[in-house]
Structure 1
């Protein structure tokens, strides 16, 4: 696989995992209401309420997701099976019907398969992959060792958003943007993935989910738009689903 295909795989995987819509502070008559002490946890708490509530989120133990995209004339299929209850994960990217990259987490070990080669993942990266088994990782950010800070407001997609900085234990920094008016997560941004913009929110088993993801990165010649074709929660999974 060439470097562009590898990058596309990484971008799509990062975008799909754990990136659901979020709810921020209320807005009335177009006036943004200030957050209490600009607390990131307030935004996350509102996010959980928006997607279905704490009890609903806690009840989701696994998810199977499939997305379709077109990149430079080639069709791309992305499949993810995430099982937080048993700490298992499958992330597979196919180009033109052929599996080009696959990440598997089982029994505490992770492997990346690409170009017919299998590579064992170091413990530090395995720990990061384990966080992707959660469909809703946001309530666990601090438990995972992430540091959160409120970075003020910024206009994204013609909407005023509240910006949160998320610093991972390995030093990776991600910014999340939540609309102050619609209460949805509008964008995630990092050096690794570029800008991931979310739209076309639909309910799946009572939980809202963005069905369209647009990825922009300086290393990609064009924006990559992914349409989610299937999202299912709490399926009966076997080991065969992770192979």
Structure 2
């Protein structure tokens, strides 16, 4: 009997081992198909991006321009009631000018806010995710608004956790939930993606809906134009000397 119990335990162990291996393989398979749907190896050639968009929030249309150099810096300018709100990341530091809050000169961003925003410097998403220090796990499948999805949880190198809902039909990410911490407070940002279009062989969502505790209601971002690998003067990321 004892020998039979040992055999059963070994069989169970083998089953669990195979199950875990299959899950590890399946999450990479889902991510590989997602990367292929978004542009595949063309991701490796993305060095920068310039995006012109219009944010719709609280009944207002706010034009914005965002310039990003992969892994280096980001600058976003949004016009609100005739005034330009500027936010920038320069390597491991960041700054902001917000006239709407009476802030007419550049002020440094808190370290944890820079850390949270640093994810925007990665234009390639889940491409080569392991080399970036991220860990991914396939949590299962769900139906979101009638569409079947793979649910992939990613523990990111910056400490944030992202849960991506990947379409089983297109392998596009249609929804993401980011959980992080800012100034000691837990923050959850929900984003829906749609209206996917190709630019220079790379697929981008041209409509994004963002729900965050930092904003009243939902902000809808409508992309008007995307430039891949534009010429960028990186001095635009540097904090102005007041």
TM-score range, shorter chain: 0.7 to 0.9
Question: Shift of residue 186 of structure 1?
Answer: 0.8
Q: TM-score, normalised by structure 1?
A: 0.72
SS in 1 for 2:34: helix
Alpha-carbon distance in structure 2 between the residues aligned to 1:157 and 1:66:
29
Residue in structure 1 matched with residue 177 of structure 2 by the alignment: 189
1:112 is aligned to: 96
How far apart, CA to CA, are the structure 2 residues paired with 1:131 and 1:187? 16
Q: What is the CA deviation profile of residues 53-104 of structure 1, one whole-angstrom value per residue up to 9, with x for unaligned ones?
A: 22x111111000121022223221232111126x122123332332224123
Q: Deviations over 1:115-154 (max 9, x none)?
A: 3253334666545544422211322433333222111111
Change over 3 Å in CA distance of 1:37–1:239 after alignment to 2? closer
The number of equivalent residue pairs is 206
**Is 1:155 matched up with 2:155?**
no
**Residue 82 of structure 2: aligned partner:** 97
Q: Name the larger-Rg structure.
A: 2
Partner of 2:13: none
Higher relative contact order (CA 8 A, sep 6+): 1
Comparing 161-170 and 174-183, the one that deviates more: 161-170
2:64 match? 78
Q: Distance in 2 between matches of 1:202 and 1:52?
A: 11
Gapped regions of structure 2 (runs ≥ 5): 1-20, 180-186
Structure with the higher helix share, 1 or 2? 2
Q: Which of the residues 45, 57, 79 maps onto 2:43?
A: 57
How much does 1:235 deviate? 1.1
Normalised by the size of structure 2, how large is the TM-score? 0.73
1:141-180 alignment runs, 5 A limit: 141-180=129-168
Partner of 1:133: 121
Q: How far has the Cα of 1:221 moved from its partner?
A: 4.9
Match of 1:67 in 2: 53
Paired with 1:97 and 1:217, the residues of 2 have a C-alpha distance of 24
Secondary structure of the residue aligned to 1:138 is coil
**CA 1:239–1:40: 2 relative to 1, 3 Å:** same
- Please give the secondary structure, in 2, of the residue aligned with 1:139: coil
Q: Secondary structure at the match of 1:136?
A: coil
CA distance in 1, matches of 2:118, 2:214: 27
Contact 1:104 1:110 in 2 (8 A): yes
| Aligned-partner Cα distance in 1 for 2:110–2:219 | 29
Contact 2:89-2:118 at 8 Å conserved across structures: no
CA distance in 1: counterparts of 2:82 and 2:170, whole angstroms: 38
